[in-house]
Amino acid sequence: MFGKLAPLVRTLIAVGGTVFAAELVIMLVMARLGLVPKSVSTALWDAALLSLISTPPIHFLIRHPLRREYEMRRKAERRAEEAGRLAVTDSLTQVLNRRGIKITLLQAIAQSERYHRPVSLALLDIDRFKEVNDTYGHQAGDRVLEQVARLLAETLRAPDNLGRYGGEEFLLVLPETGLDATHVIAERIRKRVREADFEVDGGTVKLTVSIGATQFQSGEPLTELFARVDRALYEAKESGRNLVVAR
């Protein structure tokens, strides 16, 4: 309770002290000029009385407009934060969208270059996802994508980042992770997807994923990095799907 009142008490003391000091100076100057009787006690009582009377309304007049302005500014900041979040979030799966995961990758690469630490990425594609849409409809397909995204997010480690790269593709950015460790993580994801049941209207479906993985090489252009992970994913697809290829 006292903690909540402390700012109010400090404000009242500050306003009251300012009014008291100002009025005291005015009274003393007027006394020196002979405009009021020369009495320090009178000046003190006058300043104290004015401070007591004027502090509450002054505080009200100052504090409430400032408080309204502060609340309006906070609301604007929250709206801006929400708009920024939505700009990098996939509306369906609620993971990062293509733009968001690319920004995250660039940040991870910058940290990798600065501190000479590894960073890897994996590109995941749901095998034969078109069949889900054709058989159960696009709404069911959307629900399956949501479930896959949730499973991926649950499987990844805290520092890892996940984004929907497009359609049924997801991009994983793995800081502080070399290629061998990335292969292990990708295999764990592949197995979890294969073993899971994904709900569709009136039942469940089984899915598999193909994953291409690679590690960023210091100084290489982003185009080369994506070309390499694309080739790895393509190789996984061409080799029979439900496979991880790391290169």
Catalytic residues: 168
> Please, are residues 91 and 98 in contact by the beta-carbon 8 Å criterion?
no
Strands 198-200 and 209-215: unpaired
**Region of residue 78 (phi > 0: left; psi between -120 and 50: alpha; otherwise: beta):** alpha
Eight-class DSSP state of 95 = S
**Gap between the Cα atoms of 242 and 247, Å rounded:** 17
**Gap between the Cα atoms of 14 and 59, Å rounded:** 10
Eight-class DSSP state of 34 = T
Eight-class DSSP state of 96 = B
> Please, are residues 171 and 163 in contact by the beta-carbon 8 Å criterion?
yes
Alpha helices (H) in 88-137, listed in sequence order: 98-115, 129-136
Q: Sign of dihedral through CA atoms 207, 105, 99, 223?
A: negative
Eight-class DSSP state of 168 = T
**Gap between the Cα atoms of 43 and 35, Å rounded:** 12
